[in-house]
Amino acid sequence: MERLTTQVIVIGGGATGAGVLRDCALRGLDAILLEKDDLAAGTTGRNHGLLHSGARYAVADRESAAECIAENRILRKIAGHTVEETGGLFVTLPGDDPDYHDHLLAACGEAGVPAHDIGADRARRMEPNVNPNIVRALWVPDATIDPFRLTSANALDAINRGARVLTRTQVIGITVKDGRTAGVIAKNTQSGQEISISGQVIVNASGVHGQHILSLANINLPMFPSKGSMVIIDYRVNNMVINRCRPPADGDIIVPGDTVSLIGTTSKKIPYEQIDNLFVEDDEIEVLLADGEKLIPNVSRTRVLRAYAGVRPLVSVSGSIDGRQISRGIVLVDHKKRDNIEGLITIAGGKLTTYRLMASMATDLVCEKLKVAASCTTHEKPLPGSEKALPQKKSVEGFTGASRSVVGATHFRHGERVRRILTQDPDSYGLVCECEMVTAGEVEYALKNLAVKDIVDLRRRTRLGMGPCQGALCAYRAAGLFNQLGGVEGDKAVDMLKDFLEERWKGIKPVLWGDALREAEFSHWIYQGLFGLDGDEPGKIFNQD
């Protein structure tokens, strides 16, 4: 058995876990992060990518609203290359309660969230595709943020400062001796090899899986999963975040994201046993499209690229399973105080926007336990790619041989690191994914620097395969580059290609009608007819069952 030693063991490779790892590294602590899948493979990568202004929570949860606007401002400074300054609108439709507009405006003022009554006419000029029948509108500083780039940047900075990241590594045991944790037993999910890791403090940042992780230490911390489903439209129908000005409900937001738009979000409680088997139901898609139509007319007639779901836990700190005393905000648990087990911390709840705050809270407690006097600096130090302020134009001067759109897209995704990606080698400019303008140079950079192990990982780092064709015309090119640049054997690269196509299929299958059906058939013809990938392994390449 392989044996490792560290000060801090972080369990969970979402934004919060990666944020804790980075915070530990910045404070001079030795830390290892364990993730059973890939970075941002769970709830972090299954949300609508909204950088909250806090306005959505101002009426019902003033504290969360204040946290969101504070972190909104910080992330714009330290993670600018992951943020798009879209701005946001809260619009009142005919039939909506007109008084909620004033109620929200007053609540935003009390929570410190900038909000301005701009009138329906100005809102229509700012966002031409919004429902022309809106009667009132507020502007708020909403923005969009890429959760994949954000998580990857945190992990990259932590690694550069000496931290270690072990993906495809699942925790299967927690060692407790004399009332304190001594470390974990983990298993590489690909090789099956077990690893023993000794550590002084364990931070459970595994989100909804935290209940299972804690059960390994005989701790009961009930979590009540809430599934949220979303649909993606095949092109960008809005340039501002559009919110329905009413109490939170299904289908009340449309978020622009890179080349597409996203309609969200439903909310449905599910059994804990179902958290790894999420699926989007027909009625959820119907609700999202119908309510999205009310915000942007004709949106339901556009091609729906895919549907997907994420799950966010409600945490019962008291241990009760009857629903009482369940927190909907940030939950930080010192298990010495709660369960008399020293060296174990759980950080859960919150939102993507507040990940850095959550990481800071958890790392403060880590330092307290280790008796280390070190303050948080994550609110000051920029993430890799955001060392300098980005220009307003999505392009960078000084490149020859590449179009402005290619340079701009790469710069938008990786910030200042664009100059490491698009080199003097003309091969680095070659397009692999036309939909998202992903180049061979960007793929090579990801393979060498961003802990990419397969094509699904590559999608999370670069957006390859996330555009209108959903990988039909770029996945096989990516497989070739894994073979050419990553040293992956041909048969293994083909297996990666199959896995990637199956992963894309999971999101396409719930919306299989009209243009989406035609596109799926086209993709099937390519990979079955030209590449002969169908039929050699049950369940592979668009399993129709």
Question: 85-101 pLDDT, tens per residue?
Answer: 999 999 999 999 999 99
Please say if the pLDDT value at position 60 is more than 70.
yes
Please say if the pLDDT value at position 455 is more than 60.
yes
Please say if the pLDDT value at position 48 is more than 80.
yes
In this structure, how many other beta carbons lie within 10 angstroms of the beta carbon of residue 59? 18
The per-residue pLDDT for 541 is 52
Is residue 228 domain-shared with residue 205, that is, in the same domain? no
Please say if the pLDDT value at position 440 is more than 50.
yes
Is residue 438 domain-shared with residue 471, that is, in the same domain? yes
Q: Is residue 377 part of a domain?
A: no
Half-sphere exposure of 351 (CA within 13 A, CB side): 23
Half-sphere exposure of 512 (CA within 13 A, CB side): 13
Q: What is the pLDDT of residues 303-346, one digit of tens each?
A: 899 999 999 878 877 665 544 445 668 999 999 999 999 999 99
Is residue 241 domain-shared with residue 354, that is, in the same domain? no
Residue 231 is classified by DSSP as: E
Phi, psi of 272, rounded to the nearest 5 degrees: -60, -35
Cα–Cα dist 91/252, whole Å:
10
The percentage of the chain sitting over the pLDDT mark of 70, rounded to a whole number, equals 93
Q: Is residue 254 part of a domain?
A: yes
Q: Is residue 277 part of a domain?
A: yes
The per-residue pLDDT for 539 is 41
Query: Which of 298, 313, 328 is the last residue in one of the domains?
Result: 313
The per-residue pLDDT for 330 is 93
Is residue 80 domain-shared with residue 177, that is, in the same domain? no
Q: Is residue 326 part of a domain?
A: yes
Please say if the pLDDT value at position 188 is more than 90.
yes
The per-residue pLDDT for 401 is 65
| Mean per-residue pLDDT, 263-267 | 92
| Mean per-residue pLDDT, 179-185 | 97
Residue 21: CATH number of its domain: 3.50.50.60
The per-residue pLDDT for 467 is 86
The tokens of 3 are what?
């044996």
Residue ranges making up the domain that contains 329: 2-43+148-221+317-370
| Mean per-residue pLDDT, 414-438 | 85
Per the model's pLDDT, the better-predicted residue between 343 and 532 turns out to be: 343
Is residue 239 domain-shared with residue 205, that is, in the same domain? no
**Cβ pair 195, 3 in contact under 8 A:** yes
The tokens of 56 are what?
């959505």
Is residue 337 domain-shared with residue 207, that is, in the same domain? yes
The per-residue pLDDT for 422 is 84
Q: Is residue 416 part of a domain?
A: yes
Is residue 499 domain-shared with residue 468, that is, in the same domain? yes
In 259-377, DSSP assigns E strands to 260-264, 268-269, 304-316, 326-327, 331-334, 344-348
Is residue 321 domain-shared with residue 204, that is, in the same domain? yes
Residue 282: CATH number of its domain: 3.30.9.10
Per the model's pLDDT, the better-predicted residue between 416 and 185 turns out to be: 185
The alpha carbons of the chain give a radius of gyration, in whole angstroms, of: 23
Please say if the pLDDT value at position 537 is more than 70.
no
Q: Buried b / exposed e across 455-491, counting CB within 10 Å, b at 16+?
A: bbbbbbbbbbbbbbbbbbbbbbbbbbbbbeebebeee
Please say if the pLDDT value at position 514 is more than 70.
yes
When pLDDT is cut at 50, 70 and 90, the band that residue 406 belongs to is confident
Is residue 200 domain-shared with residue 250, that is, in the same domain? no
Find the range with the poorest average confidence among 124-138, 168-182, 439-453: 439-453
Please say if the pLDDT value at position 542 is more than 60.
no
Is residue 116 domain-shared with residue 154, that is, in the same domain? no
The per-residue pLDDT for 324 is 41
The per-residue pLDDT for 323 is 46
Arithmetic mean of pLDDT over the chain: 91
Q: Is residue 392 part of a domain?
A: no
Q: Buried b / exposed e across 412-435, counting CB within 10 Å, b at 16+?
A: bbbbbbbeebbeeeeebbebbbeb
Please say if the pLDDT value at position 535 is more than 70.
no
Is residue 137 domain-shared with residue 242, that is, in the same domain? yes
| Mean per-residue pLDDT, 52-58 | 96
Is residue 413 domain-shared with residue 513, that is, in the same domain? yes
Domain count, the chain: 3
Query: Which of 265, 284, 313 is the last residue in one of the domains?
Result: 313
Please say if the pLDDT value at position 394 is more than 70.
no
Q: Is residue 386 part of a domain?
A: no
3-state secondary structure (DSSP) of residue 494: helix
Q: Is residue 158 part of a domain?
A: yes
Half-sphere exposure of 371 (CA within 13 A, CB side): 0
For tokens 């670069």, what's the residue?
A: 462
| Mean per-residue pLDDT, 285-307 | 92
When pLDDT is cut at 50, 70 and 90, the band that residue 482 belongs to is very high
Please say if the pLDDT value at position 505 is more than 80.
yes
**Cβ pair 478, 455 in contact under 8 A:** yes
Query: Which of 280, 313, 346 is the last residue in one of the domains?
Result: 313
For tokens 């009482």, what's the residue?
A: 324
When pLDDT is cut at 50, 70 and 90, the band that residue 1 belongs to is confident
Please say if the pLDDT value at position 296 is more than 90.
yes
Please say if the pLDDT value at position 55 is more than 50.
yes
The tokens of 180 are what?
């304190």
